[in-house]
Amino acid sequence: MSDFAADFAPGSVWLVGAGPGHAGLLTLQAHAALQAADVIVYDALVGEDILALAPEETPREYAGKRGGKPSPKQADITLRLIQLARQGKRVLRLKGGDPFVFGRGGEEALALVQAGVPFRICPGITAGIGGLAFAGIPLTHRDTNHAVTMITGHDATGNVTGVDWNAVARGSPALVLYMAIKHIGAIAEKLIAAGRPADEPVAVVTNASLPEMSVLETTLAAAAADIENHKVQPPAIVAIGEIVRLRAGLDWLGAAEGRKLQSDPLDLGRGDSEQAG
């Protein structure tokens, strides 16, 4: 067992972030936990290549929640974690991104506390950082923004009423939206009404860091229509602000693909200027 998981004790739960998707973005501690766990309870956005890093004989239990699709209830997921821990197992709760960034890790951890189950939080790279980096969009830049706000695109009711959009529009030059595709039209209207420019640049990054990653560049006013026209589907992260313009020079993945095409003109790759990854 790796030293990074030496204290992964039987009867405990580790809440581990798997990052935005690319297996190379796992932390050493996450990789060690995959090797040491007695059972893995994983989310919808955890890919097979990441799960394959665990021993083949380690049981895997799916506990993914996807908006608008049949999903296990959060209470049932938490109860299962407690049950497995009380069986004396090392329970790896593997979550996309970071457990504490819109990942319900806090809810699960509090339930473990109430049940008297030992736990540990293993941070991961959240999509709002790692996903945008793969798209060539810096979260901050001294010439564009000294603050950034990360926002969930829906609240506990499934709507966007829980966010003070007027304050957000005025207070942060760069916005990063999670789970916002369904409500992007309403969000854009609220931001524009609060004073954001209608032509403010927007980037929608889907399947961030994965080979099928795509990036749609648009504007705040046109975002909803462009997302519908391009049939953009979750999972997606949305960046709003001048940081998006920096992608023109920082699209390192697209530049690498361009070099590949120049060296091998018969390899047509994706052939779509809006695609990257």
Catalytically active residues are 43, 65, 179
List Cβ neighbours of 58 (8 Å cut-off, separation of 6 or more).
34, 37, 38, 39, 40
* Dihedral angle over CA of 238, 214, 71, 122, nearest 10: -70
| CB distance 240 to 202 below 8 Å | yes
47 is written with which tokens?
């890919």
Q: How many CB atoms lie within 10 A of CB 265?
A: 7
Q: What's the rounded Cα separation, in Å, for the pair 197 and 176? A: 16
